[in-house]
Amino acid sequence: MNRIYKLFIMSVFLMCAFGCKKNSGANMKKIVLDSERNSTSKEIEVAKKDVKDVKKNEVSKKNIDEKLEKYIKTVDKKAKVEELICSGIYGTKYDKKMEDFLKAKKPGSIILFKRNISSDKQLKALVLDIRALYRNMNVHEPFIFVDQEGGRVDRLKSVFGKTNSPSWYFKNKPATEYGKRITNALNHFNLNGGFSPVLDAQKPGNGIIGDRAFSDDYEAVAKYARDVIKYMNENDIVSVGKHFPGHGATHVDSHEALPVINKSNDEMKKSDLIPFVKNFDILRGVMVAHILVPKVDDMPSSLSKVWMDKIRNEFHFDGLIFSDDLTMGALDSYGDLNTRARKFVEAGGDIPLVCHKNEEMEGVISELLKVDDKRIDEAYKRILKAKLEIGLISEIKEFYMTSFR
């Protein structure tokens, strides 16, 4: 999808968001005509000008931001909170239990695991059924993710064939080949991202990351990953660098306990942070790990306002900030699942991952409703912009518009 086409999609989305009645989206042309009949002459002229500007490749980012701000004010807080959450689901079949959960909680993102995958046909059907449900509910279509790195983290292996590790690709193939392999696997199943690439640098004695890293050289990781990210972005995949601020120097598995890095801020900048900082300008997302760097902050990075402020203000990243799975053992001393989700968003995160224990989702939603409205709106806006950017909100592939909450 070229840039002009994406901008056209954004403009049509914004026209409908602010000029249309809520609609089932069955007929894109009809929605546009309805919006013209129900809008003032001034609004019609603005909308028409937007489309004209798109065709000339002159859409103003500021104008889009302003329209999103206006739209966000019309959405109730609970719907915004639901949009923030990335939830795991159970089962390989789209059954009543899964449908009831998704109807009740409406998570804006979904992450799939091996427990959700049994065959090529089954996975394609599951993804299509989930997307159809969201359209029928008139809510924004979800991001659907799966951990897909290759090697030890190869969720699609049984249905797409083995993908070699990032380390193997670094040693044997150009970065574009790795990017192509991951992208093709995700696109084959209509998935939006694989929570990759890994931007950690494997250091001697650390068996936690191992061959999940491209290299043990920070600069080499940064350079190789950059071409991977570019390839993903060009093919409408949500590139997500992980595990910020760097898992390569740790010796503890955060699934079990809290890793600690005894480095100063300056030492981090000269090592683990390099692959992230050098790619923040093109990444669509970053996953913040549960790592304690006591010389920087006394909170784990995923719950740390200090680290979030560095990402936004020092490193000037304006993409999506994901947490690592909030059910991990690393955070056992930092409150229950609900509290962890709230602390992550309050610190500056956008999308909290709840990969397991989705039976606790009601509590997570209730706790997130306590977060300041401004902070929720900031995260919600970033998510909408990301969905616009990859063409997910306006279902142009099938020629109709997704309705809005």
Residues 124 and 231 in one domain: yes
pLDDT top residue among 399 and 231: 231
Tokens read off for 304: 């740390």
Question: Is 206 inside a domain boundary?
Answer: yes
Question: Is 377 inside a domain boundary?
Answer: no
| Distance, CA of 198 to CA of 396 (rounded, Å) | 31
pTM for this entry:
0.84
Question: Is 319 inside a domain boundary?
Answer: yes
Residues in the chain, total:
405
Residues 321 and 214 in one domain: yes
Give the model confidence (pLDDT) of 62-113 as tens digits. 777 888 889 999 999 999 999 999 999 999 999 999 999 999 999 999 999 9
Question: Is 351 inside a domain boundary?
Answer: yes
Residues 163 and 29 in one domain: no
Residues 365 and 219 in one domain: yes
Residue 61 has pLDDT above 80, yes or no: no
State the average pLDDT over residues 257-278: 96
Question: Is 380 inside a domain boundary?
Answer: no
Residues 81 and 55 in one domain: no
Residues 164 and 243 in one domain: yes
**DSSP H stretches of helix in 193-315:** 218-234, 265-269, 274-277, 305-309
Residues 63 and 84 in one domain: no
Residues 90 and 65 in one domain: no
Residues 40 and 93 in one domain: no
* Marked catalytic residue, from 65, 95, 100, 255: 255
- Provide the b/e sequence for 81-117 (b: ≥16 CB within 10 Å): bbbbbbbbbeebebeeebeebbeebbbbbbbbeeebb
Of 8-12, 153-157, 212-216, 319-323, minimum mean pLDDT range: 8-12
- What is the per-residue pLDDT for 202? 87
Residue 16 has pLDDT above 80, yes or no: no
Question: Is 140 inside a domain boundary?
Answer: yes
Question: Is 132 inside a domain boundary?
Answer: yes
With a CB cutoff of 8 Å and minimum separation 6, the contacts of 270 are none
- What is the per-residue pLDDT for 18? 45
- What is the per-residue pLDDT for 3? 52
Residues 245 and 351 in one domain: yes
Task: Determine whether 172 is exposed, middle or buried from the number of CB atoms within 10 Å of its CB (0-12, 13-18, 19+).
Answer: exposed
- What is the per-residue pLDDT for 188? 98
Range of the domain at 28: 3-72
State the average pLDDT over residues 206-221: 92
Residues 26 and 126 in one domain: no
Q: Which of 72, 102, 131 is the last residue of a domain?
A: 72
Instruction: Round the average pLDDT of the chain to a whole number and report it.
Output: 86
State the average pLDDT over residues 278-298: 98
Question: Is 320 inside a domain boundary?
Answer: yes
Active site residue 76: no
Q: Which of 41, 72, 103 is the last residue of a domain?
A: 72
How many distinct structural domains can be found in the chain? 2
pLDDT top residue among 28 and 16: 16
- What is the per-residue pLDDT for 250? 85
- What is the per-residue pLDDT for 51? 40
Of 25-34, 64-73, 111-120, minimum mean pLDDT range: 25-34
Give the model confidence (pLDDT) of 249-266 as tens digits. 888 888 888 999 999 999
Residues 343 and 270 in one domain: yes
Active site residue 356: no
* Marked catalytic residue, from 297, 324, 325, 350: 324
Q: Which of 138, 142, 190, 141 is nearest to 25 (CA)?
A: 138
Q: Answer whether 89's CB lies under 8 Å from 112's CB.
A: yes
Name the pLDDT band for 6 (thresholds 50, 70, 90).
low
**DSSP character at residue 303:** G
Residue 235 has pLDDT above 60, yes or no: yes
In the chain, what percentage of residues exceed pLDDT 70?
81
- What is the per-residue pLDDT for 38? 37
In the chain, the amino acid numbered 318 is: D
For residue 221, the SS3 value is helix
CATH of the domain at 181: 3.20.20.300
Residue 205 has pLDDT above 90, yes or no: no
